[in-house]
Structure 1
Amino acid sequence: DVEIREKKNQCYADIESGLWGWQCKGSAIAKENCALRCLSPVCYELIYESDPLEEGEKDLIRSQEYKYCMYKSSLGESLDGVRGSFL
Structure 2
Amino acid sequence: MTRVLLFCVFLLLCPLLVSAFNSAKRFRMTEPEFRRKKATCIEDIENGLWGWHCKSSPIIKENCALRCISTACYEKIYGDDPLEEGEIDYKRGREFLHCVRRLAKE
- Which interval holds the TM-score relative to the shorter structure? 0.7 to 0.9
In structure 2, distance between residues paired with 1:10 and 1:67: 16
Q: CA RMSD in A?
A: 0.7
In structure 1, distance between residues paired with 2:32 and 2:87: 25
Per-residue deviation, residues 31-60 of structure 1 (Å, max 9, x unmatched): 000000001111001001111000000111
- Paired letter, 2:98: Y
* The structure with more helix, counted as a fraction of residues: 2
Q: Is residue 81 of structure 2 the alignment partner of residue 47 of structure 1?
A: no
Q: Is residue 49 of structure 2 the alignment partner of residue 19 of structure 1?
A: yes
In structure 1, distance between residues paired with 2:72 and 2:83: 16
* Alignment match, 1:36: 66
- Paired letter, 2:81: D
* Alignment match, 2:36: 6
The SS at the match of 1:54 is coil
* Mean CA deviation greater in 60-69 or 28-37: 60-69
Equivalent pairs: percent with the same residue?
A: 55
Structure 1 unaligned residues grouped into runs of 5+: 77-87
In structure 1, distance between residues paired with 2:34 and 2:91: 19
In our comparison, the structure showing a higher alpha carbon Rg is 2
Structure 2 unaligned residues grouped into runs of 5+: 1-30
Between the two proteins, the alignment pairs up a number of residues equal to 76
In structure 2, distance between residues paired with 1:64 and 1:54: 17
After TM superposition, the runs of 4+ consecutive aligned structure 1 residues lying more than 4 A away are: none
In structure 2, distance between residues paired with 1:2 and 1:74: 14
- What's the TM-score once normalised by structure 2's chain length? 0.69
